[in-house]
Amino acid sequence: MIVLGIHDGHDAGACLFQDGRILCVSSEERRRNSKNFAGVPERSIEAVFRFTGVRPKDVDLVALAGRIRTTKPTRGEKPIYKVLRAMYSVARTEVMTKVGQWALAKVRKRSELLKYLAEAGLAEVPMRAYDHHLTHAATAYFHRPWTGDATVLTLDGGGDGLCATVSVGRGTRLEVVSRTPKFHSIAAYLYSAITELLGMKPYEHEYKLMGLAPYGQHERSAEIFRSMFRVDGLSFHNDGGKIGPAVLAEFAKRLRGHRFDDIAAGCQKVFEELLVAWVGNAVRHTGIRDVAAAGGAFLNVKANKLVRESGDAGRLFVYPACDDGGTPAGAAILAYLELSEERGARPALELPRDMYLGLSHDEKEMERTLQGSGFPFSRPEAVDTEAAGHLARGEIVACFRGREEYGPRALGNRSILADARELRSVRKLNFAIKHRDFWMPFAPSILEEDAGHYLKNLGPWPFWMVEAFDTTPDAWKDIAAALHPFDLTARPQVLNGLNPDYQRLVRETKRLTGVGALLNTSFNLHGFPIVGHPDTALDTFARSDIDALVLGPFLVRKSNGART
């Protein structure tokens, strides 16, 4: 059985799935070099077919991630948004939300998608739509690194009229026990609203607010947020009663005179309190302490840290592609299980334990791209040894090799790397390459054998940069450039053999520096997605102060050391 999973909203993408296995995934933003692309993922669909050799006519089912799509999501105001906000206000209860879901699903925007599917040879393939939050839940539950039951949680800004769900996962079943209507979204109407109030992009720059929060004092602002949002059993509740522009206006009025960093600190503090309380309530309700979670709000690594440390969750697993870009895989999993049941076949899920599930490019393609670039390049016998030498000398090295990572984190295959000891690298990365805000932390990639040396209270799955950890005095000395500058926490990728090439590079660097870790950040310029093609990699290399580039087996340098 072959299923094509599609998400045609914010962070659009595609997943090709066969007989219980993910063959390939693709994020449309990387195919188009357009951050957070929303719309039909045409190039991703073409790419997964081309990469796998699967023919469109062999697909059994197209699975859509999301039952409601009234318009292409944008940050700008549209007339339809006023209508939707009015509906969210009416649908404050789960019952009324179900009515709205039924009505809006009838008018789902499909014309562009159907037109493209016909052009792609998929017009005759059956298509089914799956609930947005159920697709999130499927990614978390079916990828969980244990075999038993789970309390399954989803939390995001909103999707299909909801912002949060609590489910119980048993065997191949997910039973939803609680749904929170979007009107009560703490991700949208607290966290993203404050992100916008502080002059940053909502639904994109929330990580900047999280990075800013440790610098402020939370007490004064937090009291305002606590008066507006609370946890009510298994749901969240918007006591302020305002959403959209109205909640922004309310925040602007009530927070007048508060320092920007104090506002960020208060928002983060209350978000953490709400999340920890909600997780605790869910675990007590289900009686299952092992928690699997997805949804964009679970990219808040500081909140995940507190959930892990609260003791309510016996084990916490956050699916690494927990944003909307992960939903095509969830839709494909649900469709495969449904088809298996309908056909009387026993499902056999063989889901991966790594996140290197995207496209790769062969050596000939890379060499052709390099030959037309004008950059000097070589093919060293040991490219990792050569690259380690550049890193040990304090240079910045980018990597583009192997299959691209699924999800928003760069895990060594589409990364910019630097010596984690060298604080001067931070300034160069921030101002000459990434153009990031000064308060934003980078992340360390740490060899598994050295992780206990640098990280406190290490959790069982610290492999994907979705949890934060406190650090040791040795970390403050050896990997200071990859820690949060203020609270010295780390958002690590612990290298355990899931990526042998990257592990070898870090070990080669350790041989020269004595430190089994590197600073790791995503390979992109500010405002652009992670690079998705050798051409884009070379263009980013040319337009920045990156010193060297590992492009597959090749090592690329700049002839004069300057950007072009």
Q: What gap in Å lies between CA 338 and CA 334, rounded to an integer? A: 6
Q: What gap in Å lies between CA 543 and CA 290, rounded to an integer? A: 46
pLDDT tens digit sequence for 252-264? 999 999 999 999 9
- Convert 437-485 into a string of H (helix), E (strand) and C (coil): CCCCCCEEEEEHHHHHHHECCCCCCCCCCCCCECECHHHHHHCHHHCCC
> For a pLDDT cut of 70, what percent of the chain falls above it?
92
Residue 84 belongs to a domain: no
Tokens in use for 13?
Answer: 């993408």
Residue 41, domain CATH: 3.30.420.40
Residue 101 belongs to a domain: no
Q: What gap in Å lies between CA 305 and CA 457, rounded to an integer? A: 10
Regarding whether 289 and 255 lie in a shared domain, the answer is: yes
pLDDT tens digit sequence for 322-366? 999 999 999 999 999 999 999 999 999 999 999 999 999 999 999
Tokens in use for 501?
Answer: 């090439």
Check whether 71 has a pLDDT greater than 80: no
* Side-by-side strand order, sheet with 150-159: 173-181, 162-170, 150-159, 290-294, 315-318
Q: What gap in Å lies between CA 377 and CA 400, rounded to an integer? A: 14
Regarding whether 159 and 54 lie in a shared domain, the answer is: no
> For a pLDDT cut of 90, what percent of the chain falls above it?
87
Q: What angle do CA 457, 461, 466 make, to 5 degrees?
A: 90
Indicate the residue type of 410: A
Q: What gap in Å lies between CA 564 and CA 556, rounded to an integer? A: 14
Are the C-beta atoms of 101 and 35 separated by less than 8 Å? no
For residue 433, what pLDDT is reported?
85
Polymer length in residues for the chain? 564
For residue 84, what pLDDT is reported?
62
Residue 499 belongs to a domain: yes
Check whether 81 has a pLDDT greater than 80: no
Q: What gap in Å lies between CA 213 and CA 307, rounded to an integer? A: 18
Q: Which residues contact 336 (CB under 8 A, 6 or more apart)?
A: 1, 3, 17, 19, 20, 347, 349
What integer is the mean pLDDT of 467-474? 98
Selected residue with higher pLDDT from 62 and 110: 62
Instruction: For residue 545, give the nearest of 457, 434, 437 by alpha carbon.
Output: 434
- Taking residue 21's Cβ as centre, other Cβ atoms within 10 Å add up to 13
What integer is the mean pLDDT of 501-515? 98
Regarding whether 234 and 112 lie in a shared domain, the answer is: no
Domain boundaries, position 51 = 2-69+108-137+325-342
Regarding whether 37 and 125 lie in a shared domain, the answer is: yes
Sole residue written with tokens 């990156």: 546
Regarding whether 401 and 284 lie in a shared domain, the answer is: no
What integer is the mean pLDDT of 161-187? 97
Grade residue 564 by pLDDT with cuts at 50, 70 and 90.
very low
Phi (first) and psi of residue 366, to 5 degrees:
-65, -40
Q: Which residues pair with 471 in a beta bridge?
A: 455
Regarding whether 299 and 150 lie in a shared domain, the answer is: yes
Q: pTM to 2 decimals? A: 0.94
Instruction: For residue 97, give the nearest of 182, 165, 189 by alpha carbon.
Output: 182
286, 303, 318 — which closes off a domain?
318
Rg from Cα positions in the chain: 23
For residue 436, what pLDDT is reported?
83
Are the C-beta atoms of 25 and 355 separated by less than 8 Å? no
Regarding whether 394 and 294 lie in a shared domain, the answer is: no
Regarding whether 153 and 228 lie in a shared domain, the answer is: yes
Residue 564 belongs to a domain: no
Regarding whether 272 and 330 lie in a shared domain, the answer is: no
Q: What gap in Å lies between CA 75 and CA 31, rounded to an integer? A: 21
Residue 461, domain CATH: 3.90.870.20
Give the total number of structural domains in the chain.
3
Residue 79 belongs to a domain: no
Selected residue with higher pLDDT from 491 and 67: 491
Q: What gap in Å lies between CA 51 and CA 300, rounded to an integer? A: 33
Regarding whether 545 and 507 lie in a shared domain, the answer is: yes
Regarding whether 177 and 39 lie in a shared domain, the answer is: no
For residue 437, what pLDDT is reported?
86
Q: What gap in Å lies between CA 522 and CA 415, rounded to an integer? A: 5
Residue 76 belongs to a domain: no
Residue 97 belongs to a domain: no
Query: E strand or H helix at 196, and its extent?
Result: helix 193-197
pLDDT tens digit sequence for 279-290? 999 999 999 999
Strand, coil or helix: 254: helix
pLDDT tens digit sequence for 525-560? 989 999 999 999 999 999 999 999 999 999 999 875
Q: Which residues pair with 519 in a beta bridge?
A: 418, 444
Q: Which residues contact 57 (CB under 8 A, 6 or more apart)?
A: 121
For residue 458, what pLDDT is reported?
93
Regarding whether 334 and 422 lie in a shared domain, the answer is: no
Which range among 39-48, 104-113, 162-171, 542-551 shows the weakest confidence by mean pLDDT?
Answer: 104-113
Residue 357 belongs to a domain: no
